[in-house]
Amino acid sequence: MSTQTDPRLSLDADAIQALLGRSLLKTPDYDTRAMGALVSVAEAFARLDAAGVKTPLLPAELAYAVFFDNSTRTKSAWAGAAARLGMQPVIVDGSSTQVAHGETAEETGAMLGMNAHALGIRHDLILGEGRAFLQDLKKGIDDYNAGLGTPRQVPVVNLQCDLDHPTQAIADLMFLREKFGGDIRGKKIAVSWAYSPSYAKPLSVPQGLIMLLSRYGAELTLAQPEGYPLLDESLDLARAHSAASGGSFRVTHDMDDAFRGADVVYPKSWGPLTLMQERVTNKDKLGEIEARMLAQNAQFTDWICDERRMGLTHNAQYMHCLPADIGAEVTAGVMDRFRFDLAREANQKLYVIMAMLATAKVPGLAAQLERLWETR
């Protein structure tokens, strides 16, 4: 992966070319070389954008995204990424589609994908359903294209499912690489549960973080109260990745313990697992289950990122995917201190989406980016 100071972009052209036609539905889909290639392209797009170089590599193409949950940043990043690539972005509310009337994900994939040139999906509320929807949607358009015998590529971008939030996790990795000179090896990173009274948040952000950051030799600590475990598959991957990368991964039930000596803290809320699982089978009781989740959260109001806890750290970088519950997950003072950094963190997602779309669709991408870099 190139660094911000390289005179050239120094891209691994073969590894980038190997991403043609691929969709990243969760970060473990890409091995470390493939992930490195993707991140290097995202960083190249960030540098080109900062230098004012236009990158219309996919003109007159449609980038269609469907959101089955609320979003500010990811919708905006999708639109910004598509516009910078010369594509036309369209974003629709999932509840307004025929999925709400029972049309399957596979049918929806074929119908949307025959018109669009890339599909983005957010489907993060019910455990197991988002990832299945993404896979079936991709099968729908892939089968349709195979029936036509067309080489046309319609990558599917996971804009957050129940397991992973890959554009967020990769954006967070980019932010950390920028902060720590391209390498997070040996950095003590605390991913912690924090109190939220607003709504029961998906597990996919902390899961995405531990699955991805564990690949790069970080010393990761996951902190959570009893009753808030993440899914086993994400924990198993975090352990395996940490062992392979020479980092470490541990779980604690003490937020102070996680913060002590940390270089980075990422305190955010997620829902209690047994009630998240109950949502899967009791969809007619979502309101009642939500109220029970918030009542359970309320037992842990002291899980807040405040100045006392920041004082336990090694002058830590505070991170959050946003939106944060100010006064619950984090104090207003800590939030204010890191406001610019949080915006910088959020801004990386734009370039991650550009990289996912361009690597999947543009042959000879590395050479094209190098040529564009020379024009600045």
The residues of the shown chain that bind ligand CP, judged by CB under 6 A, are: 71-74, 160, 168, 321-322
Which CB atom, from 70 or from 282, has the smaller least distance to ligand CP?
70
For residue 64, what is the DSSP state? E
Q: Is 26 exposed, middle or buried (0-12, 13-18, 19+ CB in 10 A)?
A: buried
Q: How far is the CB of 320 from ligand CP (least distance, A)?
A: 8
Rounded to whole angstroms, the Cα distance separating 27 from 375 reads 33
Which CB atom, from 133 or from 373, has the smaller least distance to ligand CP?
133
Q: How far is the CB of 67 from ligand CP (least distance, A)?
A: 8
The residue written with tokens 């009630």 in the block is 275
What H or E segment, with its residue span, contains residue 334?
helix 332-337
Which CB atom, from 174 or from 365, has the smaller least distance to ligand CP?
174
Q: How far is the CB of 356 from ligand CP (least distance, A)?
A: 15
Which 3 state secondary structure label does DSSP give 10? coil
Which CB atom, from 356 or from 362, has the smaller least distance to ligand CP?
356
Q: How far is the CB of 17 from ligand CP (least distance, A)?
A: 29
Which CB atom, from 160 or from 317, has the smaller least distance to ligand CP?
160
Q: How far is the CB of 71 from ligand CP (least distance, A)?
A: 3
Who's near 100: CB < 8 A, 6+ residues apart?
94
Tokens representing 63 are 């980038």
Tell whether omega for the bond before 197 is within 30 degrees of 0, i.e. cis. Answer: no
Which CB atom, from 71 or from 252, has the smaller least distance to ligand CP?
71
Question: Helices 32-50 and 339-361 sit at what angle, rounded to 10 degrees?
Answer: 110
Q: Is there a contact between 224 and 301 (Cβ–Cβ < 8 Å)?
A: no
Q: How far is the CB of 352 from ligand CP (least distance, A)?
A: 11
